[in-house]
Structure 1
Amino acid sequence: MTTEGSATLTTTGNDDEAGDTLGTESGTTGPKLDMSAEESGAEGNPCAETTGGGGLAEIAFSNIWIANSPEGTVSRVDTVTGEHVGRYATGPNNASDPSRTTVNLQGDVAVLNRQGSVIKIAAEEDRCVDLNDDGIIQTSTNDTALGWGVDECIVWEVPLHPGARAAAWDSGSDPESEDCEGIPSLWVSALDAQNTIHVWRLAGTDGAEEGHATMPNWAGAQEWGGLYGGAVDKGRNFWAIGKDDPALFRTDFDTMEITRYDAPQGVGRLYGIAMDKDGNPYATAEFDNRLLRFNADSETWEDLATIQGTLRGLAVDGLGDAWVATNGNCGLAHYHLADGTVDTITLPECNIPVGVSIDVDGFVWVVDQWAGAPPFGRAHKLDPLDYTVEFTVMGFDTPYTYSDMTGAGLDLVSYPPVG
């Protein structure tokens, strides 16, 4: 079921309420985003930890998952060391064309293939499946992928329509249960040949369908796959953007009802989407130099900033600041919510940065699809305070990933049970 929202546009000034400040925590390797329960939006939430979020902090590793689209693989990189700790085929051949990677609070990843499927890769061997019953889990541990059907940490595959794009895990937190513990669900979407949008909620354990909604008569082009990118809020509802049918769509977790909110006037195409800690989607207007935020409570759009260049993927940190990949005016833009200013950051060998994500230690990662010499592609790790490049990771194949490839975006809006 689809309903029309009543979105309007407002313009922000430079007097936005400031967020907290960046600081450091003992025992960490870099800047952290410290927030109280009230600041994080966790106050009153029965599933909240005292500081809000924190699911990824309980995991003994921190990874970023980057899709090598033309190769049909996904790379797993340790965000602390920059080492490749795994590479996985995402289909029987390179035609699988992976793009979106989304990470849950256990560190597992779902990889959406534009060929028309989604797979889940378990991040720890105790969640992998010994397919040949030899007592050993066969899985990649370096920059070499095993053959399709060989790696036993690829635990399930679900077919979708060709051209599939938007995908996002939810937290699994369940305030209705005694201990708040639940099982994460995976949201995916695809456009069929009859121009009908499909949105599915899949069980994280085995990919079984938990919910399904349709939206017929899609006005956008088939080549963009319908809903283009997605994120979830702390109520586990799925938000996604239409690219060339520029609008924001919310799918309700319980009812699967889809509500449409048209983009502000003058926006020809949307591209990136990310969620802030309060459950408000940020979006980039690809060719219109506009960074937007949708207030989910008032159902109004806000023009946050003008950013020069073609705007691609973005990430939002705990302060409400946005980090936006820019093409043309090649680099990274940092929007400060506190005062509305924008910093322009130069990237080494900059060519076509597409995706931005934040790791568990607060560092900002930018994936540049065509940087460097063949094989093209670089991933840069930046300090969010002084913008220095901590290191650059190579060894990709023209990587295209612009979703929540570390899980930090989900962590920002999630409150897993303590312990």
Structure 2
Amino acid sequence: MHAYRFLPCLLGLVVAACGDDNTTSASEAAQTTTETSPTSTTNTPTTTPTTTVGDTDTASGTAGETQGQTTTTGPTSTTADTTSTTTDPGTATAVDPSTTSTSTTTTTGTTAETTTTTSTTGDPPSCMPGDTEGMGDIEKSFLWVANTDQGSISKVDTQSVVELARYRSGPSGGTESPSRTAVSVDGRFVVVNNRGTGRVTMIAANVDDCKDKNNNGMIETSQTKDDLRAWDTDECVLWSVALPFKGDIGSGPRGVTWTPGAWDMNLCQFVEPKVWVGYLPVQNATAHMVRLDGMTGVVEETVTIPNWLIGDTSWGPYGAALDKNLDVWFTGLRGELFRLNTAQDPVTVDRWAPPFNLQFYGMTVDPDGDPWFGGNCGPVSTFDPDTQQFIAVPGTENGCYRGLAADKDGHVWVADNGTCGVVQIDHVTNTMVQFHTLNPCGIPVGVSVDDEGFVWVVDEWVDGNGGGAWKIDPLNPNMKQFLPIAGDHYTYSDMTGGQLKSVVLPQ
């Protein structure tokens, strides 16, 4: 284990002593409060005037890319369906068998136009979400782990607990510094954010979605964990864009979430999904949340967040997750809580400043729509959007928390560096259920829940031997399985797609 996990970590004026991003191998640990029951703090949101533009937030990438878009793109959607800013998750799944309405939003400059097309048929829906592979009975499911020091991402089969393949996240090796990964609602695609270069890269999980770039009649892609191919030769890497970030690792893209897109009953799949990504632009004291076309990587919309002045402001939007209304929640590092109201035109932003003892690090949104936060120098906490109260979980004051995930059975699982394990919390009563030790354990960072409900905890580095991932049965947490994965894994976010699926397709 690393002794730094037990160094004292002070609040208030000494927040710099806590770990920042992948500098967590410097000082992380605990702080103590006197809370003995869930504590609530009511906050009134501040609605922030935002600047919303179309595709003016341009990006540049590798050879063959134009305006931030590679000439090789993913599968082309054949139907123009509802974008993430207008689709309600209920209407995507509860479709009248005789009438189907879809909305299409297009943005040009700063003007968004919405049209609605209605088709009528007497036939019942041919296919609904939940009927297809990966949406109902689970046939395959993957965990995507960023290999930060190598500039790659590993695909892990969550059922067999085997690393199946590795893909480069950019052309610059370890300089890319990949971190956050996020999986689409149907599990078909993953995006990875590279903090060192500002690059966002999308990879297909299934060979059927890959593209024969050299037209030789076969898909050439990684076949094993040791089969790491040269950049731009793996045909399952579909697009990569470099965002115009400030240039330092703190401002590189981090917080990321997919939106589902619209359900196409004829194709029996979601079409036109979007990806929201946060970073710091060159303009000081501002942050950007950008919406990318999930199939091409084209920047469709940029929301500028002014007055990025609370917390560790040298870091951009740190975490992001979607809620059941398809609004995007995100946080700053030890900073504020934000919500993008994506159904509004233009998109508006609400923001809440937490009480001083809540030092946000990792974040997620549970199936009920409540955001949760890992406190790095502070307790685990949640936010009630209805009462606008922050609530600290008693018994978690002395941890050093990182990533977290909510399952569908009413529990939140939080990685703890302080004691080296994972905390299980009841997200209905906001109370701690149990602490689960991990052995081996070094720097547990990311947490995600897979399609079958198993909890995955990614350990960044275990005693100089590289990191790995734990698979935990939530019904019997003593049943754990550890998979060693070579390299350093500073990875967060929805690494399996389970969070997105839990809010878009509630069971």
- Pick the TM interval, shorter chain: 0.7 to 0.9
- Per-residue CA deviation, residues 164-187 of structure 1 (Å, 9 max, x unaligned), is 211111122479xxx995421100
Counterpart in 2 of 1:150?
Answer: 233
> 2:194 pairs with 113, 117, 121, which one?
113
Residue 208 of structure 2 corresponds to residue 126 of structure 1: yes
Q: Provide closer, same or farther for how the CA distance between residues 380 and 53 of structure 1 changes in structure 2, counting only shifts above 3 A.
A: farther
- Report how far residue 218 of structure 1 moved: 1.9
- Report how far residue 390 of structure 1 moved: 3.6
Counterpart in 2 of 1:90?
Answer: 169
2:176 corresponds to which letter in structure 1?
S
Structure 1 segment 133-212 matched on structure 2, within 5 A: 133-143=215-225, 144-160=227-243, 161=245, 162=247, 163-173=252-262, 182-195=271-284, 196-212=286-302
Q: Provide closer, same or farther for how the CA distance between residues 371 and 136 of structure 1 changes in structure 2, counting only shifts above 3 A.
A: same
- Report how far residue 96 of structure 1 moved: 0.7
1:68 corresponds to which letter in structure 2?
N
- Report how far residue 304 of structure 1 moved: 3.2
> 1:387 pairs with 449, 467, 477, which one?
477
Gaps of 5+ in 1: 1-10, 14-42
- Per-residue CA deviation, residues 13-59 of structure 1 (Å, 9 max, x unaligned), is 8xxxxxxxxxxxxxxxxxxxxxxxxxxxxx99333479x98474346
2:327 corresponds to which letter in structure 1?
N
- Report how far residue 84 of structure 1 moved: 1.3
On the 8 A contact 2:467/2:488 being kept in 1, the answer is yes
Q: State the identity %.
A: 38
> 1:104 pairs with 153, 169, 184, which one?
184
Counterpart in 2 of 1:40?
Answer: none
> 2:457 pairs with 366, 383, 395, which one?
366
Q: TM-score, with normalisation over the residues of structure 2?
A: 0.68
Counterpart in 1 of 2:85?
Answer: none
> 2:493 pairs with 378, 391, 403, which one?
403
Q: Provide closer, same or farther for how the CA distance between residues 353 and 181 of structure 1 changes in structure 2, counting only shifts above 3 A.
A: closer
On the 8 A contact 1:380/1:389 being kept in 2, the answer is no
On the 8 A contact 2:459/2:467 being kept in 1, the answer is yes
Counterpart in 1 of 2:387?
Answer: 298
Gaps of 5+ in 2: 1-36, 40-87, 96-127
Q: Provide closer, same or farther for how the CA distance between residues 222 and 69 of structure 1 changes in structure 2, counting only shifts above 3 A.
A: farther
Question: Rg bigger for which structure?
Answer: 2
Of stretches 350-359 and 202-211 in structure 1, the one that deviates more from structure 2 is 202-211
- Report how far residue 394 of structure 1 moved: 1.1
Q: Secondary structure at the match of 1:136?
A: coil
- Per-residue CA deviation, residues 140-187 of structure 1 (Å, 9 max, x unaligned), is 121021110000111111211242211111122479xxx995421100
Residue 414 of structure 2 corresponds to residue 324 of structure 1: yes
Q: Provide closer, same or farther for how the CA distance between residues 182 and 139 of structure 1 changes in structure 2, counting only shifts above 3 A.
A: closer
Counterpart in 2 of 1:74?
Answer: 153
Query: In the aligned structure 2, how far is the partner of 1:360 from the partner of 1:235?
Result: 21
- Per-residue CA deviation, residues 185-222 of structure 1 (Å, 9 max, x unaligned), is 10001002333201111111111222211023422546
Q: Provide closer, same or farther for how the CA distance between residues 150 and 181 of structure 1 changes in structure 2, counting only shifts above 3 A.
A: closer
- Per-residue CA deviation, residues 40-94 of structure 1 (Å, 9 max, x unaligned), is xxx99333479x9847434631000000001100000000111111100001122
Counterpart in 2 of 1:251?
Answer: 340
On the 8 A contact 2:469/2:485 being kept in 1, the answer is no
Query: In the aligned structure 2, how far is the partner of 1:45 from the partner of 1:68?
Result: 36
On the 8 A contact 2:313/2:332 being kept in 1, the answer is no
- Per-residue CA deviation, residues 349-381 of structure 1 (Å, 9 max, x unaligned), is 21110011111111111111111442x101011
Q: Provide closer, same or farther for how the CA distance between residues 49 and 282 of structure 1 changes in structure 2, counting only shifts above 3 A.
A: farther
On the 8 A contact 1:67/1:73 being kept in 2, the answer is yes
Q: Provide closer, same or farther for how the CA distance between residues 44 and 205 of structure 1 changes in structure 2, counting only shifts above 3 A.
A: closer
Q: Secondary structure at the match of 1:367?
A: strand
1:157 corresponds to which letter in structure 2?
S
Counterpart in 1 of 2:73?
Answer: none
2:478 corresponds to which letter in structure 1?
T
Query: In the aligned structure 2, how far is the partner of 1:114 from the partner of 1:81?
Result: 31
On the 8 A contact 2:340/2:349 being kept in 1, the answer is yes
Q: TM-score, with normalisation over the residues of structure 1?
A: 0.82
Query: In the aligned structure 2, how far is the partner of 1:397 from the partner of 1:382?
Result: 21
Query: In the aligned structure 1, how far is the partner of 2:150 from the partner of 2:89?
Result: 46
Q: Provide closer, same or farther for how the CA distance between residues 96 and 84 of structure 1 changes in structure 2, counting only shifts above 3 A.
A: same
Counterpart in 2 of 1:4?
Answer: none
- Report how far residue 97 of structure 1 moved: 0.7
Counterpart in 2 of 1:57?
Answer: 135
Query: In the aligned structure 1, how far is the partner of 2:150 from the partner of 2:313?
Result: 23
Q: Provide closer, same or farther for how the CA distance between residues 264 and 145 of structure 1 changes in structure 2, counting only shifts above 3 A.
A: same
Aligned residues: 370
Q: CA RMSD in A?
A: 2.7
